[in-house]
Structure 1
Amino acid sequence: MGKHFFEERRDQSQVKARIVQKYFDAWSNIVVGATKRFGGGKIAYIDLYAGPGRYKDGAASTPLLVIEKAIQNDRIRDSFIAYLNDMDKDKSQTLAKEIAKLPGVETLKNQPVIGNDEIGQDAEKYFSETAIIPSFTFFDPFGYKGLSLKLVNGVIKDWGCDCVFFFNYNRINAGLTNPLVKSHMDALFGEERADALRLKVSGANPAMRQEMVLEELSQALKEMGGKFVLPFRFKNENGKLTHHLVFVSKSFKGYKVMKDIMAKESSSSEQGVASFAYSPADETMPLLYGLSQPLEELEADLSTSYRGEKILFDKLFEEHSVDRPFLERHYKDVLMKLEDSGKIQVIDPKKKKRRKGTLANRLIVHFPS
């Protein structure tokens, strides 16, 4: 797959690249301000399987798009550092040539560093033991070799560090029961969890198997330190799941930003709630969490979960929205509907006059018992 991957750009590749590029743009603007306040100011983009930079049709792949964003942004240009790696020497050399052609690349204070190392235990050890500057790491290993819990945890362990990786469901699903790649599966899920997962998926139907694999991956990442895990699904022309793009962060703010981005890149929604999935057929797909009337279910869940409580909107949103498909605007719409029907009260601790149809994050929501 790796050999032919860059021969043609598909819709899925464009969506994947846009998600990574948009997140880098948002993340870099947030993080660079904070680092400058503390006297550092350096941020990094790390791509461990960078490829040659362009598809055969001439379209730029993810690393070039990210570097172009850095060049265009006066605020981050001097702070930006890129480390791009591909174990294929020809690809890394081609990537270097493509970077050199980018308009304005000479304005970068730090020119991109390109390596061609194999990603394995040495990389795990380095990122696990070395403190790194705020970094956004992306890796797309075309399968499972080199993808491990230790590596993911290593690249997100320090402040300001987030990660997105490509999770090839089809290959990993097949690899779970293949004794020849047991070590790779154990590295990805953890040996104990991988053994339990093999038993759980035995005999399960395809849909249940997909959910089990994704759930175990999410739990494994959280146990290793990735507090927030957000998967985005890709399906083929027949609506069959092929792979995921998985975001991992320790920051709710980063999780919220990525959720907004992935929601906009989704190819279907129900009541304005995104599927967090993309299908080139643009067909109706089940929501990530299987909800058919998501806003009604959110309304009922909030009314039950917070009965008798007074809670700041910001706190409610942060604690309730994790691992659910809802965005901030969904919570505000549902709460204002409940307020209009007299089922809840919204309190302004500063007693300021509210503009109609708004719900500020500083307000307190009271769910009567």
Structure 2
Amino acid sequence: MADQFFDEQLDQSEIKAQIIQKYFYAWARIVTPTAMQGAKKIGYIDLYAGPGRYKDGAASTPLLILQSAIAQPALGQMLVTFFNDVDKNHSATLQTEIDKLPGIEKLKYKPVVQCNEVGEDAEKYFNETRLIPSFSFVDPFGYKGLSLKIVNGVIKDWGCDCVFFFNHSRINAGISNPKVETHMDALFGVERATKLRETLPQKSPALRESFVLEEMSQALKAMGGAFVLPFRFKRGQRTSHYLIFVSKNFRGYDVMKDVMAKASSTEDQGVPSFTYSPADASMPLLFSLTQPLGKLKESLPSAFSGRTLTMRQIYEKHSVDTPYVAKNYKQALRELEEDKIITTDRPNRRKGTFADDILVTFP
């Protein structure tokens, strides 16, 4: 089935590639100034890189990242790339496709392509090796090779962030399967995996999905991934999979939140769904059944009662683990000011604006 994945570039694969690319470009701009003061290197790591192209000829993420580095000389002089795939045909085809890229010889560091199982050796390497600032993509077809130790290893150093593919349906089915118990234990940790096995059978299908995702997110946070952001892909009414972003830095979280917000099929009152679903996009009335901005407005006065903070401080303190992006906070604060619930240090500014450094006082 993994081979069939590359038969054609489905719309979901295209959205996934866009999310990875857009974050990579933004991340590279952020870490480059600091990296220039050190080893003058930044990295892109893809542990399940695939053959490089779909069978319809469309380039997949590894080739797109390299093409970008070729087109940007400054990036091309710093970027170190590591591509791996357990399928020897995939890795061989990827090497051939890389070698055919026009201008590939302009890159200072030749892309490394390997064919290895992602298991204990990889866990040991990434946890014991100090990495240059790197963005890692871990995209296994199922769940074998995906573990907390791998994720921790690729985000442990400064400037290192990770996105991984979370196949909810296969993981949901595997939780109670004794044949894959070791994989589930590696993914969630033994204690959480045991908890899931005991609790999931008692829950409805909808609650099972939420519970599994919550446990995954909490496991990532417990190992040090302070900022976790899932993005859901749906086919019809069912979840097919998630992309989960993990970082130790709020700035990376903020950037990825904006990228994923723009990739969402729908938004309600300007609040993104963090879901890609063509069905939702075609049925906005059915999607918009809640008033999320109203909930944000209600929560802010109690969350910051008696305090004075800038808009940016409010956003950074309150937005983690919520669907709200910066523009949602600015709108909510403008409305709270109009309702005379809060005051600001610049009440006579241009209408419709709310700068990051405006001081807000809550009663």
TM-score tier (shorter)? over 0.9
Secondary structure of the equivalent of 1:365?
strand
The corresponding residue for 1:332 is 330
Q: Pick from 349, 358, 363 the counterpart of residue 358 of structure 2.
A: 363
Matches within 5 A, 1:238-257: 238-257=236-255
Give SS of 2:173's match.
helix
The percentage of counterpart residues that share the same residue type is 56
Query: Offset at 1:190?
Result: 0.3
Q: How does 1:81-96 map to 2 (within 5 A)?
A: 81-96=80-95
Structure 1 stretches of 4+ with a deviation exceeding 4 A read 283-288
Cα deviation, 1:348-369, whole Å, max 9, x if unaligned, reads 5xxx97333222212211011x
Please state if 1:32 is matched with 2:27.
Answer: no
Q: Cα offset for 1:286?
A: 11
Are residues 1:200 and 2:195 paired? no
Match of 2:132 in 1: 133
Partner of 1:6: 6
Residues 200-225 of structure 1: per-residue CA shift (max 9 Å, x gap): 21121111000000000000000011
SS at structure 2 position matched to 1:34: helix
Q: What letter matches 1:317 in structure 2?
A: Y
Partner of 1:143: 142
How many Å apart are 1:57 and its aligned residue? 0.2
1:293 and 2:291 aligned? yes
Long gaps (5+) in structure 2: none
- The one-character-per-residue Cα deviations of 1:26-65 (angstroms, maximum 9, x if unpaired) are 10111112211x2322000000000100000000111111
Bigger drift between 310-319 and 126-135 goes to 310-319
Verify: 1:261 aligned to 2:250, yes or no: no
1:149 aligned partner, one-letter code: L
The one-letter code sitting in structure 2 at the alignment partner of 1:224 is M
Choose which of 286, 289, 314 in structure 1 pairs with 2:312: 314
Cα RMSD for the two superposed structures: 1.8
Spell out, residue by residue over 1:274-310, the C-alpha distance to the aligned partner (whole angstroms, 9 max, x if none).
Answer: 110111333448999x981011100000022112211
**What is the identity, as a one-letter code, of the residue corresponding to 2:141?**
F
Q: Distance in 2 between matches of 1:245 and 1:284?
A: 23
Structure 1 length normalisation: TM-score? 0.94
CA–CA separation in structure 1 for the residues paired with 2:284 and 2:143 = 26
**Counterpart in the other structure of 1:347:** 345
Q: Which residue of structure 2 aligns with residue 59 of structure 1?
A: 58
In structure 2, the residue matched to 1:277 is 275
TM-score for the superposition, normalised by structure 2: 0.96
Residue 65 to residue 258, structure 1, CA distance change in 2 (3 Å) = same
Aligned-partner Cα distance in 2 for 1:217–1:285: 29
Which one has the bigger helix percentage?
2
Match of 1:186?
185
Are 1:53 and 1:94, in contact at CA under 8 Å, matched by a contact in 2? yes
In the alignment, is the contact (CA less than 8 A) between 1:266 and 1:277 conserved in 2? yes
How far off is 1:197 after superposition? 1.3
Cα distance in 2 for partners of 1:200, 1:101 equals: 51
| SS of the residue 1:136 aligns to | strand
What is the CA distance between 1:97 and its match in structure 2? Answer: 1.1
Gaps of at least 5 residues in structure 1 are: none
Partner of 1:117: 116
Q: 1:223 — aligned with what?
A: 222
Q: 1:268·1:283 contact (CA, 8 Å) conserved in 2? A: no
Of 294-303 and 3-12, the range deviating more from structure 2:
3-12
- Paired with 1:322 and 1:287, the residues of 2 have a C-alpha distance of 27
- Per mean C-alpha deviation after superposition, the further-off stretch among 122-131 and 300-309 is 300-309
Q: Residues 222-269 of structure 1, C-alpha deviation per residue, up to 9 Å, x if partnerless?
A: 001101000000111x22011000000001000010010101111111
Q: For residue 137 of structure 2, give the secondary structure of its aligned residue in structure 1.
A: strand
Q: Residues 235 and 279 of structure 1 are in contact (CA less than 8 Å); yes or no, is this contact kept in structure 2? A: yes
Hey, what's the Cα distance between the residues in 2 that align with 1:332 and 1:229? 23
Deviates more, 1:119-128 or 1:276-285: 276-285
Alpha-carbon distance, 1:106 to partner: 1.6
Q: CA deviation at 1:188?
A: 0.3
CA distances 1:97-152 after superposition (whole Å, capped 9, x unpaired): 11122222221111111010110000000001110100000011101100000000
